[in-house]
Structure 1
Amino acid sequence: MRDAFIDTATALLDDDPRTAVVLADISASSFAPAARQHPDRVLNVGIREQLMVGVAGGLALTGLRPIVHSYATFAVDRAYEQLKLDLDHQGVGAVVVSVGASYDGASMGRTHMSPGDVALLDTLSDWTVHVPGHPAEVPGLLRAAARHDERVYLRLSTQVNDLPRPAAGQLTVVHRGGADAPLVVAVGPMLHPVLHAITGLDVTVAYTHTPRPFDVVGLRELVGAATSAGAVPAVVLVEPYLAGTSSALLGAALGGVPHRSLALGVGRTDLRRYGEPADHARWHGLDPAGLRRSITEFLG
């Protein structure tokens, strides 16, 4: 995903004079050729992530379309105040592109983990959030974000699904269960472990790489099938960041519809462990075995 982002952003710099890239050392070497070609629109501010976002806000005020890039924990957690003031408060936009996701950088410790990034952005206004599940989904999402001036977060990961689903801006059914089957919503790279987890279960699985704005209409349509069959709908939400991040949105979307729901994601407890991404997926119950255990217990 990171390579797809760098290639696409470089092409945008060549093709669109509005595009600018602001870095804080991360991936600076990869953008070095582009910086030589466009020294006025590829800016590396050094290890100053707050300044990176502030510069992006200034560029946006001049009419440019800035792309900001770093690890999620630096671009969102560390620079939250600048996202709030220099973008939200000023009423300007940027494309914030992160790597590291929740625990891709676990071998570097807690400093490089950011399971709460999307929850933090939910406290701000009018952010579109893309969580691609495959590298082939990245170019289309980035190009679409570069064409307007709104605030966009593109969350990249080393965890990937088997196949790209580039048209999954809305909930897209990838596995159909019976008429009253429970619904499992998989966000981004969670689709791969979910599909392995539900083998032999009568469930419907829907996928999205755009959890913000959440596809309320699609959710109600999918849940409506179970309601029409006389069942109380059961919805399992599987997200690759903090568990429960989208629970309020799901509850609001199904307001007035009796239902049961389960939110799965990264736990809130700091495990104080290094390890690899696969280790953390297992510890948080986001591997196929852990997901199957949680889903079957919930469904009874």
Structure 2
Amino acid sequence: METMRERFAPVLTRLLDEDPRVAVVLAEIGKDGFAEATRRHPDRVVNVGIREQLLVGAGAGLALTGLRPVLHTFASFLVERPFEQVKLDLGHQGLGAVLVSAAASFDWPAGGFTHMAPGDVALLDTLDGWTVHVPGHPDEAETLLRHAVAAGDDKVYVRLSVQANAQGRPVDGERFSTVREGREGVVVAVGPMLDAVLEATEGLDVTVLYATTVRPFDSAALRRAADAARPDVVLVEPYLAGTSTAAANDALADLPHRVLGLGVGRRELRRYGTIEEHVAAHGLDAASLRERIAGFLRPGGEPAVNVATGRG
């Protein structure tokens, strides 16, 4: 299966052909995928070199001319390094752009901590008005990318990852979807975490919600699920643990509830390893998730069995 990032350049090339407002700004990374697009649209494909602050500044300048800029590089260089430009050149000036990242939290372990960005969504949460898409499959990435480009002049972040679920699901760029229904709690799986969550909760009597658009947070979907089940919520996110706990708490503010945020830990892992080893080290593999989810929802007791399957 192709990766989300491998899908990105062909989709953007088609959007450049289809929409004269679309422009692409690169910081050297990913330029080979846009070789043909550069030949066809030399005025709307810009490579600023390894200058990430300029990447955002140039995108803001294009937005001032009425274009819809799509900015692309690794997440650590797109959100963290040029954060002042994201805050001022886009936010302060009221300009929209589409930020499309690669490498996610730890997709390239050999790149070291400089190429990891588990705090990207939490950092954008300090700013106002950002839509954040976290696809879990290349098909979803294409759909959400098209949503982002078509979103007027909004500020949109699309977080691409090598990690992916086995199959894509229908996504609308707004709402969570219900994958399973149960009575003993609610588990929200974000993007590429869905397959591990489904395996971890197999046979447990829990509702599983699937989230690929996390900002704005779909409070209504979480509230409906919590009203129909025990209002204990587990968030499983592929970035910094606890990033969405405040949003979940706000959604359930008038309802007695508990929230557990699972995700990437704050401790830096100083060995390269593999993606799978990083997943396991952060407790995001299916076996670890099952232990942590079951222990939270039924502390000191056996996991509830889903009557539909008879398994526990």
**TM bucket, shorter chain:** over 0.9
Q: Measure how far apart 1:253 and its partner are.
A: 0.8
After TM superposition, list the pairs within 5 Å mapping 1:215-294 onto structure 2.
215-226=218-229, 231=230, 233-294=231-292
Identity value in percent:
59
Q: Measure how far apart 1:32 and its partner are.
A: 1.0
Determine whether 1:160 maps to 2:158: no
Q: Measure how far apart 1:34 and its partner are.
A: 0.4
* Aligned residue identity for 2:161: S
Bigger shift: 102-111 or 160-169? 160-169
Q: Measure how far apart 1:271 and its partner are.
A: 1.7
What's 2:6 paired with? 3
Which of 85, 91, 94 aligns to 1:91? It is 94
Q: Measure how far apart 1:167 and its partner are.
A: 2.2
Encode CA deviations 1:54-73: one digit per residue, 9 max, x unaligned. Answer: 00000001000000000000
Tell me the SS of whatever aligns to 2:233.
Answer: strand
Tell me the SS of whatever aligns to 2:270.
Answer: coil
What's 1:191 paired with? 194
Tell me the SS of whatever aligns to 1:29.
Answer: helix
What's 2:137 paired with? 134
Partners of 2:233 and 2:11 in 1: how far apart? 36
Stretches (4+) displaced over 4 A: none
* Aligned residue identity for 1:247: T
What's 1:170 paired with? 175
Determine whether 1:67 maps to 2:70: yes
Q: Measure how far apart 1:5 and its partner are.
A: 1.2
Q: Measure how far apart 1:105 and its partner are.
A: 1.1
Asked whether the 8 Å contact 2:143–2:171 carries over to 1, the reply is no
Partners of 2:168 and 2:30 in 1: how far apart? 24
Encode CA deviations 1:117-170: one digit per residue, 9 max, x unaligned. Answer: 000000011000000000001222111211211000000001111211132531
Structure 2 residue runs without a partner (length 5+)? 300-312
Structure 1 residue runs without a partner (length 5+)? none
Bigger shift: 234-243 or 195-204? 195-204
* Aligned residue identity for 2:214: P
Partners of 1:72 and 1:167 in 2: how far apart? 23
Which of 198, 201, 207 aligns to 2:210? It is 207
Partners of 2:144 and 2:121 in 1: how far apart? 17
What's 2:56 paired with? 53
Encode CA deviations 1:189-223: one digit per residue, 9 max, x unaligned. Answer: 00011011112211111101000000011111111
TM-score calculated relative to the size of structure 1: 0.96
* Aligned residue identity for 2:26: L
Determine whether 1:106 maps to 2:109: yes
Partners of 1:91 and 1:134 in 2: how far apart? 31
**CA RMSD, Structure 1 to Structure 2 (Å):** 0.9
Tell me the SS of whatever aligns to 1:30.
Answer: helix
Tell me the SS of whatever aligns to 2:66.
Answer: coil
* Aligned residue identity for 1:250: A
Bigger shift: 159-168 or 110-119? 159-168
Q: Measure how far apart 1:181 and its partner are.
A: 2.2
Partners of 2:241 and 2:26 in 1: how far apart? 30
Tell me the SS of whatever aligns to 2:31.
Answer: coil
Asked whether the 8 Å contact 2:26–2:55 carries over to 1, the reply is yes
Aligned residue pairs total 293
Encode CA deviations 1:56-106: one digit per residue, 9 max, x unaligned. Answer: 000001000000000000001101111001100010010000000000011
Partners of 2:217 and 2:252 in 1: how far apart? 12
Partners of 1:155 and 1:32 in 2: how far apart? 23
Which of 74, 81, 86 aligns to 2:84? It is 81
Bigger shift: 242-251 or 161-170? 161-170
* Aligned residue identity for 1:4: R
Q: Measure how far apart 1:241 and its partner are.
A: 0.2
